[in-house]
Amino acid sequence: MIRILIIYATAGTGHKKAALAVKEAFNEIGPDVSVEILDSLDYTTTFFKWSYPRFYIFLVNRVPLFWGWCYHILDNKIFYSLTSWIRHLTNWINSRRLAEYLKKENYDVIISTHFLAPDVISMEGRERIKSRLINVITDYRTHSLWIAKSADIYVVAHEKTKVDLISRYGIEEEKIKVLGIPIEPVFSKKKDKNELIKKHGIDKDLFTVLVGSGGFGVGPIIDLVKSFKGVSLAMQLLVVCGKNESLSIEVKGLQRDIRIPMKVYGYIDFMDELMELADVIVTKTGGMMSSESLSKDLPIIGIAPIPGQETRNYNILVESGVVLGVKDINEVPRIVERLCRDKALTKDLKIKIASIKRPDAAYNVARLALKVAGI
C-alpha cells in the first residue's frame, strides 16, 4: 500500500492547521492509501522540542522588531550562505531521531508544511531518505529557510511566490505548483446564514465586524476594540481572542465603555461560521487567517503585521487589492464605515478576492501527492 506522511512543526498554529487540513482532505477523498500525520518536534531532543515554539512566540510577542530583523537578515543570500551551517548543524544534532524514523519508515511521499523536516531530509541525503518530498509554503512570499535541495515540488500560494523561487533561489519552474495554502475543507463549504444567525445569536440587521487574533491571541486587540468607542455606525463586534484567556477577560471588560454590541470568544473551532456571518474581518495577515478569510470572500482590513513573514503577506495582499491596509489602529473604524456605506468598494474587493483565493488548496495538495505517488 502507498504510504504518505504529512509532517509539521508546532511553531505557531498555522503549520499544524495546514497539515491537518491536508489530512482531512485525504479523509474526504478516501483513496486506498495510508496517510499519517506527525509533529516533527516529537522526534527531536527534549530541550529542542520545548524551546522551539516558545522561542518563536517570545520573539514575536516581546521583541517583534528583533524578530523582523532576524527574519530579513536570514533571507539575505550572502548572510545566509555564511551562517546557514549553524542552522543545519543545530537541526542535525537535535533531530537525529526524526532522520532515523524517516529512513526506517521509508514513506512514498512526505508532505511538509514547515521547513524543519525538509532541512533534516536534505542533510541526510536522498540515498538515505528516498521519499518524494512536497514542500508546502504556508505564507504568501517565501524565505531562504524554506529552500531544501531534497524538495521535489514546492506548493505556493501566489504567482509572485513562484517568481521568487525561480528568480531568487534558482528553483526549476516545473517543480513549483501554485495551489494555495491548505486550509480546512470546511472553509470551502457554504452554510445557511439564517441558521448561523440563530445559532450564534447575531443581530442580522447590524454590520458585523469580526476581529481575529490568531490561535495565540496576539496583536493590538485591546487598542483596536477601544478605537470603536463613540462610533455611531449600526454595527456589532465579534472578537476572537484565541488561547489568550487574559485577553478575553480584558476585552469583555471594555463592553460597557465602547457601547457597541460585542461577543467575545476564546479558542474556537467554528471560525468558518463567524466568517460566514461577518461583513469584514480585521486581523493580522498570517498566511492561514488570510487564506481562510479569502476563501469566504471576506474583505480584510490588515493591521499590525508581525515584522517578517506577516509583513510580506501584508504587502503582497495589499498590492493584490484584497486587503485594505492600515498603519494606525485608529483608522479602522473609518474604513469599516466606508465599507458599510460604499457597496461598490465591497463589490470590487470581492472581485479581486475571487481572482486570488484558493479554497480547495488542501484537496489539490492531496491529489498532487497521489499523483506523485503514482496513483
pLDDT at 218 over 80: no
Task: Kindly report the average pLDDT of the chain as a whole number.
Answer: 92
pLDDT greater at residue 216 or residue 47:
47
pLDDT at res. 216: 62
pLDDT at res. 5: 98
Q: How many CB atoms within 10 Å of residue 238?
A: 21
Written as one letter, the residue type at 215 is G
Q: How many CB atoms within 10 Å of residue 38?
A: 15
Q: What is the mean pLDDT of residues 151-155?
A: 97
How far CA 106 is from CA of 20, 95, 294, in Å, comes to 21, 17, 37
Q: SS3 of 263, please? A: strand
User: Measured between alpha carbons, how far is 81 from 258 in angstroms, rounded to an integer?
Assistant: 52
Written as one letter, the residue type at 239 is V
pLDDT at 225 over 70: yes
Residues in Cβ contact with 296 at an 8 Å cutoff, skipping those fewer than 6 apart: 187, 272, 275, 276
User: Measured between alpha carbons, how far is 109 from 353 in angstroms, rounded to an integer?
Assistant: 32
Percent of the chain with pLDDT over 70: 99
For 204-217, write each residue's pLDDT tens digit.
999 999 998 776 66
Cβ–Cβ under 8 Å, residues 153 and 134: yes
pLDDT at res. 171: 96
Cβ–Cβ under 8 Å, residues 239 and 263: yes
pLDDT at res. 374: 86
CA 128-369-91 angle, to 5 degrees, is 40
How many Cα atoms are found within 13 Å in the side-chain-facing hemisphere of 359? 17
Confidence label for 41 from pLDDT (cuts 50, 70 and 90):
very high
Confidence (pTM): 0.91
For 69-116, write each residue's pLDDT tens digit.
999 999 998 998 899 999 999 999 999 999 999 999 999 999 999 999
pLDDT at res. 30: 75
Complete domains list, the chain, with CATH: 3-183+359-372 (3.40.50.2000), 189-356 (3.40.50.2000)
Percent of the chain with pLDDT over 90: 75
Q: Any idea of the CA torsion for 54, 22, 145, 3, to the nearest 10 degrees?
A: 110
Q: SS3 of 373, please? A: coil
pLDDT at res. 217: 63
| 167-171, 193-197, 257-261: least confidently modelled range | 257-261
Strands (E), the chain: 3-8, 34-39, 109-112, 132-136, 153-156, 176-178, 207-211, 235-240, 262-265, 280-283, 300-302, 323-325
Instruction: Give, rounded to a whole angstrom, the gap between the first and last alpha carbons of the chain.
Output: 11
What single-letter DSSP state applies at residue 236? Answer: E
Provide the grid cell at 320.
493584490
Q: How many CB atoms within 10 Å of residue 155?
A: 28
With CA atoms as reference, report the closest residue to 209 among 343, 305, 300. Answer: 300
Alpha helices of 221-302 — where are they, by DSSP H? 221-226, 245-252, 255-258, 271-277, 287-295
Q: What is the mean pLDDT of residues 49-76?
A: 89
In terms of average pLDDT, the best of 48-57, 259-268, 356-365 is 356-365
pLDDT at 264 over 80: yes
pLDDT at res. 305: 82
